[in-house]
Amino acid sequence: MNRILTLAAFLLLTFKGYSQNWRYVPDKKVYKSLSEAFKAEEKVYNLSLYNQKITRADLKKIGTLDSLQFLYIEKCDLTTLPDEIFKLPNLRTLFLDYNSFTTLPRGIKFCKKLEYLSVHSCKLSVISPEIGELTNLRELHIGNNNISRLPVEFGNLQNLVEVSFQDNKIEYLPDQIGDLKSLEYLGLSANRLQVLPASIGRLIRLITLDLSENYLTTLPEEIKDLQNLTRLYVSCNKFTSLPKEIKDLRSLTVLIVSCNKLTSLPEEVKDLQNLTLLNLSQNKLTSFPEEYTQFPKLKQLFLDDNKIKIFPQEAGLLNNLEKLSLTNNSISEFPAFISGLKSLKRLELDNNQITSLPQDFFKLANLEWLTISMNPLLNIPDEIQEFRKLKWLQIQLTRIQPDRAAEIKKLLPKDCEIAYEVRQRNMKNRIPLSTFMQ
């Protein structure tokens, strides 16, 4: 589940979809069959082939379409490509996803004008050194393959802006990674990295760095030099603490450190005054220090699946916090600081030990979503009617009695849904509240 959430955040916040940035040549016909393209009297600029059987002779014939700029060949069970394709003089965009390549063909070196290359979900285990000759390349996507290392020639791609190697078997990065002076996005999630080279600090234009699902225990000191970095993803690694140098990443807006082994939080993080999203879920935290309420721009805070018992008394500078998730912790008393989160829209407190809700809590006029299931909660007072914007209330598996749940329903806005179940004595059957609230 954590991986799904992390990937979702990644897709929403960072990933530039292929079709959005590398469309067909505009105002030109997109040919979807070889026979039609070969018979065309006009110049062929766009060719899209999906799940088709293509002979080697036909592949070579594609090389005669001199005007071709966009070539999409997906799920055609290709194991290699003839040099004729790579010698297309105007080819700028090449998709080869979901084929059966084991190596990137050496003929790739002839694609001197190529700007976008995607070889996603094939069977690549080797990237040939010839890739270093694609000096006009701006985006490279080679995810979900079997690559264990990158050639040193990779550092020659001086115009590369975005590169993703997620879901491979990469164990280390060459020092030449630091030569990619134009790089803004680097995706290396789900690999086998244990350390990063110091040269990564030379990627001074980097905006997004995704290192999720690796074996990292720390980050190099040179990480502090990434002054343009706004999104850092290091979830599902082996961090027991965050390096102090992280405080120098003053442009950081998104920091995801979920699913690690953090036992405490470094005070230095409080210097990241531009943070809008902080995810510390699935660690071993026992307290949430006051220093972490000093983020004036923070909108989303995730602290799920820890062992947190201690919270600050005041909300501090969390004036813009809209979403707070504290599910699966060790909270026995409702955290006082929550009542000061005036912008809060969504609050998740499931699976704790909360028995009551304080009066001040019901002054949060913007709250739209409240889940507090699996707590020994005895009652929700009538003040819940102050939540005039509430759209969802989840109180499953609490100690609230059915008749009281029905009363609570009547106090809620008409468009608010309530999730509630009654456990039977045999603990097997659960009756939804709707059964007796019609």
Identify the weakest region by mean pLDDT among 195-204, 228-237, 239-248: 239-248
pLDDT, tens digit, for every residue of 117-165? 999 999 999 999 999 999 999 999 999 999 999 999 999 999 999 999 9
What's the predicted TM-score (pTM) here?
0.90
Contacts 24+ apart (CB under 8 A), 96-99: 96/122, 97/121, 97/122, 98/74, 98/122, 99/73, 99/74, 99/75
Q: What is the mean pLDDT of residues 295-301?
A: 97
pLDDT of residue 422 exceeding 70, the answer is no
Higher-confidence position of 16 and 267: 267
pLDDT at 13: 39
Domains of the chain: 30-170 (3.80.10.10)
pLDDT tens-digit series, residues 75-107: 999 999 999 999 999 999 999 999 999 998 889
pLDDT 10s digits, 398-414: 999 999 999 999 999 99
Is 147 or 291 the better-scoring residue by pLDDT? 147
Give the pLDDT confidence score for residue 264 in this predicted structure. 87
pLDDT band, residue 11 (cuts 50/70/90): very low
- Segment 210-216 shows an average pLDDT of 98
Whether 357 has a pLDDT exceeding 70, the answer reads: yes
pLDDT of residue 22: 62
Q: Are 253 and 231 in contact (CB under 8 A)?
A: yes
Give CA–CA dist 11/220, Å, rounded: 26
pLDDT at 93: 97
Do residues 28 and 46 touch, judged by C-beta distance below 8 A? yes
State the average pLDDT over residues 103-116. 93
Partner residues linked to 432 by β-bridges: 421
pLDDT band at 430 (very low <50, low <70, confident <90, very high): very low
**10 pLDDT more than 90:** no
More confident residue, 17 or 205: 205
Q: What is the pLDDT of residue 270?
A: 83
Whole-number mean pLDDT of the chain?
90
Give CA–CA dist 345/233, Å, rounded: 25
User: pLDDT band for position 428 (50/70/90)?
Assistant: very low
> Is the pLDDT confidence value at 15 over 60?
no
CB neighbourhood size of 14 (10 A): 19
pLDDT tens-digit series, residues 311-323: 999 998 999 999 9
Taking 3-state DSSP, the helix, strand and coil percentages for the chain, each rounded to the nearest 5, stand at 25, 15, 60
Helices (H), 40-109: 56-62, 83-86
Mean pLDDT of 180-197: 98
